[in-house]
């Protein structure tokens, strides 16, 4: 579990993505490209759901979202390895 600066940064990721999307939506050429829509980029961003905060700190501490990703990768790799070993024995 992350604490301190990593947790603080992780908590800002969603807001930062939303702010960047809003800044793009405000640009006239982006609105023109999107047929006058003033929230096209923000709408697409919202369609993806919550942005996962993959943050690593100066001392190798990681955000909760990154720990969850690690868990998924390790679980998948271990299942793949078990399947390979089962195939070798067969």
C-beta neighbour count of 38 within 10 angstroms: 13
- How does pLDDT run across 7-61, given as a tens digit for each residue? 999 999 999 999 999 999 999 999 999 999 999 999 999 999 999 999 999 999 9
Question: Residue 76 belongs to what domain range?
Answer: 4-89
The DSSP code sequence of 40-61 is HHHHHHHHT-SPP---B-TTS-
Burial of residue 55 (CB within 10 Å: 0-12, 13-18, 19+) is buried
**How many domains does the structure of the chain reveal?**
1
pLDDT band for 2, please (50, 70, 90 cuts): low
Yes or no: say if 25 and 39 are a contact pair by the CB < 8 Å rule: yes
């Amino acid at each position: 579990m992350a604490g301190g600066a990593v947790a603080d940064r992780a908590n800002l990721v969603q807001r930062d993505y939303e702010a960047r999307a809003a800044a793009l939506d405000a640009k006239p050429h982006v609105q023109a490209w999107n047929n006058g829509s003033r929230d096209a980029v923000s709408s697409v961003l919202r369609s993806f759901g919550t942005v996962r905060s993959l943050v690593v700190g100066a001392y190798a501490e990681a955000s909760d979202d990154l720990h969850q990703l690690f868990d998924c990768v390790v679980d998948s790799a271990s299942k793949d390895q078990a399947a390979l070993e089962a195939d070798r024995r067969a």
